[in-house]
């Protein structure tokens, strides 16, 4: 039913080989022939079957993208970036939502790996050895995670947090709490590490609370404990957690930022919509996605290439949820 290369060849009065050539390397065929082929293609509405092409070229023109949870507004941003960049290079994108399940990840990867030229794993939850093993089989790029020499796109947390802590100290804060996300999250470990550095440099005392789920509910759950520590400012693992705290604090009638300042990570759209609007360290979501595609394509073009790492910058978005520390 669909039109094949043979149909075009017949219509143009040439061989299939010539049609293929006219499309792939136009300068190798006579101008007249090229024109006849071009016309036949347009007339019949021919589009080459990518699967068939992939069979012989070994290139599918597809790439795979795995994300832990699309319901977390952070990930759609990354997905959009990947989509947009991939489309520019005429790549189609397989998307899989792993539902935060490390076991599902490996399965999905295996399933997809045959149909794609490479995979982009966004914040994968699987273990390092698993990532390494995968990286041996298929070209992969990591987003928001670093594992050995696997190509990756990450965000520089230290610089951003230095800025953030600077902001807080300028407002008079001397004791700051951090509400950490999942222990298995690389980002969480990284943020904690960077936070220790930044606070140490600034002479600020860092108070760490227990780990929470990286959602609104996690923030709600953490708020009371944070308050009990007596800090004047708190940083949540991500915006959802921070907003959860905001909600619980409001319910308890605690003034933000009057009594306590609150900060998050990511800058999801939601952050501007809550009241008070959330001060947050913005992660370059779409840019992360785009850079991931770039790295992957580079890897495909030149597999022997040395390590590829891109580190992007985060930006502090100061909004109403942070203010002067209360006088003791």
Does position 275 bind DNA by CB under 7 A?
Answer: no
Interface with DNA by CB under 7 A: which range of 8-16, 136-144, 202-210, 264-272? 8-16
Give the Cα separation of 125 and 182 in Å (integer): 10
Does position 300 bind DNA by CB under 7 A?
Answer: no
Interface with a second copy by CB under 8 A: which range of 93-101, 118-126, 181-189, 301-309? 93-101
Q: Which of the choices DNA, a second copy, none does residue 97 contact, using the CB cut-off of 5 to 8 A by kind?
A: a second copy
Give the Cα separation of 156 and 191 in Å (integer): 9
- Residues 173, 177, 181, 187: what is their CA dihedral angle, to the nearest 10 degrees? 50
Cβ-based neighbour number of residue 159 at 10 Å: 15
Q: Residue 143: CB partners within 8 Å, gap ≥ 6? A: 78, 120, 121, 122, 123, 152, 153, 154, 288, 289, 292
Q: Residue 312: CB partners within 8 Å, gap ≥ 6? A: 153, 154, 155, 156, 284, 287, 288, 291
Pick from 20, 33, 94, 211: which binds a second copy (CB under 8 A)?
94
Pick from 2, 203, 303, 328: which binds a second copy (CB under 8 A)?
2
Query: At 129, which helix (H) or strand (E)?
Result: helix 128-137
Does position 237 bind a second copy by CB under 8 A?
Answer: no
Q: Are 180 and 237 in contact (CB under 8 A)?
A: yes
Does position 9 bind a second copy by CB under 8 A?
Answer: no
How many DSSP H helices and E strands does the chain contain?
13, 12
Interface with DNA by CB under 7 A: which range of 6-14, 130-138, 229-237, 301-309? 6-14
Q: Are 226 and 177 in contact (CB under 8 A)?
A: yes
Does position 56 bind DNA by CB under 7 A?
Answer: yes
Give the Cα separation of 39 and 294 in Å (integer): 34
Question: Which 8-state DSSP code applies to residue 274?
Answer: S
Q: Which of the choices DNA, a second copy, none does residue 155 contact, using the CB cut-off of 5 to 8 A by kind?
A: none
Site string for DNA, 24-53 (x = CB under 7 A): x---xxx-xxx-----------xxxx--xx
Q: Give 15 or 127: the residue with its C-beta nearer to DNA.
A: 15
Pick from 57, 111, 127, 229: which binds a second copy (CB under 8 A)?
111
Q: Which of the choices a second copy, DNA, none does residue 20 contact, using the CB cut-off of 5 to 8 A by kind?
A: DNA
Burial (CB count within 10 angstroms: exposed 0-12, middle 13-18, buried 19+), residue 88: exposed
Contact residues for a second copy (CB under 8 A)? 2, 47-52, 54-55, 60, 62, 70-71, 73, 75-77, 79-80, 83-84, 87, 92-97, 99, 110-112, 114-115, 216, 243-244, 247, 250, 269-270, 272-275
| Chain residues that interact with DNA, rule: CB under 7 A | 2, 4-6, 13-21, 23-24, 28-30, 32-34, 46-49, 52-53, 55-57
């Amino acid at each position: 039913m669909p039109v094949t290369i043979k149909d075009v060849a017949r219509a143009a009065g040439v061989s299939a080989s010539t049609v293929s050539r006219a499309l792939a390397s136009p300068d190798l065929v006579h101008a007249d022939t090229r024109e006849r082929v071009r016309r036949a293609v347009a007339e019949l509405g021919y589009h080459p079957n990518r699967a068939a092409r992939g069979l012989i070229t070994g290139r599918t023109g597809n790439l795979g993208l795995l994300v832990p949870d699309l319901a977390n507004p952070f990930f759609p941003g990354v997905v959009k970036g990947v989509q947009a960049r991939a489309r520019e290079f005429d790549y189609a994108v397989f998307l899989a939502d792993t539902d935060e399940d490390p076991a599902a990840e490996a399965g999905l990867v295996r399933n997809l790996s045959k149909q794609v030229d490479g995979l982009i794993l966004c914040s994968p939850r699987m273990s390092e050895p698993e990532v390494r093993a995968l990286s041996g089989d298929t070209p992969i790029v990591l987003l928001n995670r670093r594992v050995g020499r696997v190509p990756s796109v990450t965000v520089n947390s230290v610089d951003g947090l230095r800025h953030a802590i600077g902001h807080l100290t300028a407002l008079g804060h001397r004791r700051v709490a951090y509400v950490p996300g999942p222990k298995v999250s690389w980002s969480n470990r990284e943020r904690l590490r960077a936070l220790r550095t930044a606070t140490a440099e600034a002479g600020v005392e860092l108070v760490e609370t227990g780990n929470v789920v990286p959602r609104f509910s996690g923030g709600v759950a953490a708020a009371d404990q944070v308050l009990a520590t007596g800090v004047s400012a708190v940083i949540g693992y991500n915006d959802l957690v921070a907003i959860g705290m905001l909600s619980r604090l409001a319910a308890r009638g605690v003034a933000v930022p009057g009594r306590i300042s609150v900060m998050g990570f990511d800058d999801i759209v939601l952050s501007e919509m809550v009241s008070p609007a959330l001060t947050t360290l913005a992660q370059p979501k779409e840019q992360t996605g785009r850079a991931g595609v770039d790295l992957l394509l580079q890897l495909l073009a030149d597999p022997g290439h040395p390590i590829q790492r891109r580190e992007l910058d985060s930006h502090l978005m100061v909004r109403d949820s942070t203010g002067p520390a209360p006088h003791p």
